[in-house]
Structure 1
Amino acid sequence: MDICQPFPAEKRFTIDIMTTRDKLLAYLQANPDCWVSGEILSRSLKVSRAAINKHIKKLRHDGYIIESSTKKGYRIGEQHDLISADEIRNHLTTTIFGQQKIFILKETDSTNLQAKKAAAEGEPEGTIVIAESQHSGRGRKGREWFSPSNAGIYASIILRPRISPAEAPGITLMTAVAVVESLISLYAIPLKIKWPNDILIGDKKIAGILTEISTDMDRVDYIIVGIGLNVNTAVHDFPAAIQKKATSLYAATGKRFSRVTVLKTILQEFETYYDLFKREGFSGIRDRWIAHSDIIGRNVMIRKIGEEVEGRIIDIDQEGVLILQDHLEKVHRIFSGDLVL
């Protein structure tokens, strides 16, 4: 295997916010069949040889296979399905999402918690926090989200929309449409949205959305949209308590999927629908939401704190509120709660 001259950095790295780690990884990935010397990497990235060595160690810690030779330099080995900022940005045509800072964490408590910290420190809209695993992943009402290493997508996105707090719940519904349509476009999988934040294959959950909001008086300061998607988790890897209720792309199809490809497609659809939401609110997305949910016309139970309401869902209005008619023909507007089919 030869020693090679990597491509000039200025031809590849047009995004100033790419970190030295991301640029180093990109160099190695662009030259998989040859060695890249530490001297060339140091000169190209404008950092010291010691800094190159430090970042190589960090990449190895993150799971990348990188060989080293005193005389030849470094080369990258065959990789497993790892997520990197450079791989996300490669051929991504979004304007914001995936083009701002991307924090990649090997393990964290919760990507939503880390994204909230980043937002509070002033990180801009479009910033994304991604983890290979979470030890305190959360769903609605503090429920645990099973987040095994290198098997799913655990990502949180910072939004700063100019909307009122009353409009914010529509972001969850909008995100569900974006996730469903991205997966259908890739794999034609029969998915359904379960109000307000779950995505199902059959009667099993494959993804969940956790939206958290920070307000300042009567305006939204920021919104964190957390997406948890089971990608390559095998059925036997799910905890026994949820094996009958959870599934993954792999469990449903028998095929392994590239998490980077899935995530990039989600970001593309997310940006499209977010732009539409900012222009038209939930009303601009309502028809797509209805098309991906079979809830209209069904008899359900809505469980809220201290109350249960039974009846038939007759509509979802322009604001994303469910309209339920009970057996006495009384109409209820359902803003939140757990839906039982």
Structure 2
Amino acid sequence: MFEGIIRMFKEKDGFVSGEEMSRRLGITRAAIWKKIKALRERGYEIEGSTAKGYRLIKTPEFSVEELKILVKGDFGKEIIFHESLDSTNTLAMELAEKGGHHGTHGTVVIADRQLKGKGRLGRTWFSLPQCNIYMSVIVRPEIEPKDATLLTIMSAISCARAIRNSTGIEVKIKWPNDLMVSERKLGGILTEMKSDQDRIIFAVIGIGINVNSSLDAFPPEVRAVAASVMEELREKGYSQEISRTLIIAAILNELERWFKVLIKGGRIQLINEWKKLSSTLGRKVKVVSGKDTFSGIAEDIDDEGMLILRLPSGGLKKISAGDVFMLR
């Protein structure tokens, strides 16, 4: 119902009468007034006129209703929003396991705050409330488990392209899943999945991006390496709050595009696009993989997304997972 009202506002550049809203939504004008009141309480700035009706002046920087209007495909067709969750990935995994309407391909779980946000390798993702993007997307890709890394590569490409297109920030990707700007971490991706021997039954792509957070709000150890969209744009003279709605919509629409590339067998296209956005290739790096540490030149990634490291001996080492540290 809220989405219907917002959609009417978007269709008209001006006032929408209470009578028209009542007729199109099939509810009384008194009920319309209550819906408008509830939208105002959610942060929408709506002007009311006895003679003309209602006009939308401003939407909040995050709006599920507006997001549903902006998404164009399967990704985001079903959106589940919570003000607070332990972890969007945890809930999305549970929903995917149960199946049904809320566990379908493309379902998105979004939270304003995470209490136990997940990072890679069992780490915690520091989640400030009501300012950043914390979301997880259920996918049913019907690809082999050995190709799971391609899901993360596809997601990283989608996020980087979406942020570039919606904000102008030159986001790059540090292998395997970090979204970087000016050598600082803007966001990250965590892919979890359930599979049998020959196929992925479902996967959950967790996405965390710092949007409207001030770096001063982070703990010192995070502040030293973190970035946020707001801080980056502030350096360019942009002082307004950034719309999470627009960034999330851009990400979901890019996921729609690049997922189609993936399932149509466009592995080489994905790898080449990742290379264009990489901040890792050609750099001297240290890679910590489990108990092992390797140093060398990050020379390439293979068709499965594994990092190819040129060792000081001249030999090549393929690495499937690990932490990369830039040495120069």
Give the alignment's TM-score, normalised by structure 1: 0.80
The answer on whether the counterparts of 1:281 and 1:319 sit within 8 Å (CA) in structure 2 is no
Q: Which residue pairs with 1:125 in the alignment? A: 105
Structure 1 residues 16-48: Cα deviation after superposition (integer angstroms, max 9, x where no partner): xxxx454466567879987976x9978755679
Structure 1 residue 192: Cα displacement: 1.6
The answer on whether the counterparts of 1:190 and 1:201 sit within 8 Å (CA) in structure 2 is yes
Query: How many angstroms apart in 2 are the aligned matches of 1:80 and 1:88?
Result: 11
Question: Alpha carbons of 1:59 and 1:110: their partners in 2 closer, same or farther (altered >3 Å)?
Answer: farther
Question: Quick check: 1:145 aligned with 2:122?
Answer: no
Question: Alpha carbons of 1:22 and 1:338: their partners in 2 closer, same or farther (altered >3 Å)?
Answer: same
Query: Equivalent residue of 1:276, what SS?
Result: helix
Match of 1:96 among 74, 79, 86: 74
Query: How many angstroms apart in 2 are the aligned matches of 1:81 and 1:46?
Result: 29
The one-letter code of the counterpart of 1:230 is N
The one-letter code of the counterpart of 1:293 is S
Question: Quick check: 1:195 aligned with 2:180?
Answer: no
Question: Quick check: 1:329 aligned with 2:307?
Answer: no
The one-letter code of the counterpart of 2:87 is S
Question: Alpha carbons of 1:78 and 1:323: their partners in 2 closer, same or farther (altered >3 Å)?
Answer: closer
Query: How many angstroms apart in 2 are the aligned matches of 1:336 and 1:54?
Result: 53
RMSD: 3.1
Give the alignment's TM-score, normalised by structure 2: 0.83
Query: How many angstroms apart in 1 are the aligned matches of 2:12 and 2:291?
Result: 61
Query: Equivalent residue of 2:191, what SS?
Result: strand
Match of 1:265 among 247, 250, 263: 250
Deviates further, 194-203 or 327-336: 327-336
Equivalent residues in 2 for 1:1-80, closer than 5 Å: 20-23=1-4, 26=7, 45=25, 78-80=58-60
Q: Which residue pairs with 2:91 in the alignment? A: 114
Structure 1 residue 246: Cα displacement: 0.6
Task: Name structure 2 gaps, 5 residues minimum.
Answer: none
Structure 1 residue 321: Cα displacement: 1.0
Structure 1 residues 68-115: Cα deviation after superposition (integer angstroms, max 9, x where no partner): 9xxxx9997854312214x113244x32112x2111211111111111
Question: Alpha carbons of 1:329 and 1:298: their partners in 2 closer, same or farther (altered >3 Å)?
Answer: same
Query: How many angstroms apart in 1 are the aligned matches of 2:171 and 2:281?
Result: 16
The answer on whether the counterparts of 1:135 and 1:147 sit within 8 Å (CA) in structure 2 is yes
Equivalent residues in 2 for 1:169-180, closer than 5 Å: 169-180=149-160
Structure 1 residues 232-277: Cα deviation after superposition (integer angstroms, max 9, x where no partner): 1122222222111111111112134211111111122211111111
Task: Name structure 1 gaps, 5 residues minimum.
Answer: 1-19
Query: How many angstroms apart in 2 are the aligned matches of 1:23 and 1:153?
Result: 24
Deviates further, 28-37 or 234-243: 28-37
Equivalent residues in 2 for 1:274-285, closer than 5 Å: 274-285=259-270
Query: How many angstroms apart in 2 are the aligned matches of 1:84 and 1:206?
Result: 23
Question: Alpha carbons of 1:240 and 1:56: their partners in 2 closer, same or farther (altered >3 Å)?
Answer: farther
Deviates further, 43-52 or 218-227: 43-52
Question: Alpha carbons of 1:24 and 1:190: their partners in 2 closer, same or farther (altered >3 Å)?
Answer: closer
Give me the identity figure in percent: 34
Q: Which residue pairs with 2:187 in the alignment? A: 207
Query: Equivalent residue of 1:223, what SS?
Result: strand
Q: Which has the higher contact order (CA 8 A, sep 6+)?
A: 2
Question: Alpha carbons of 1:267 and 1:32: their partners in 2 closer, same or farther (altered >3 Å)?
Answer: same
The answer on whether the counterparts of 1:28 and 1:36 sit within 8 Å (CA) in structure 2 is no
The total of aligned residue pairs comes to 318
Deviates further, 45-54 or 226-235: 45-54
Structure 1 residues 291-323: Cα deviation after superposition (integer angstroms, max 9, x where no partner): 111322222111122211222222111111111
Q: Which residue pairs with 1:320 in the alignment? A: 305
Query: How many angstroms apart in 2 are the aligned matches of 1:132 and 1:77?
Result: 23
Question: Alpha carbons of 1:27 and 1:121: their partners in 2 closer, same or farther (altered >3 Å)?
Answer: farther
Query: Equivalent residue of 1:168, what SS?
Result: helix
Query: How many angstroms apart in 1 are the aligned matches of 2:5 and 2:82?
Result: 17
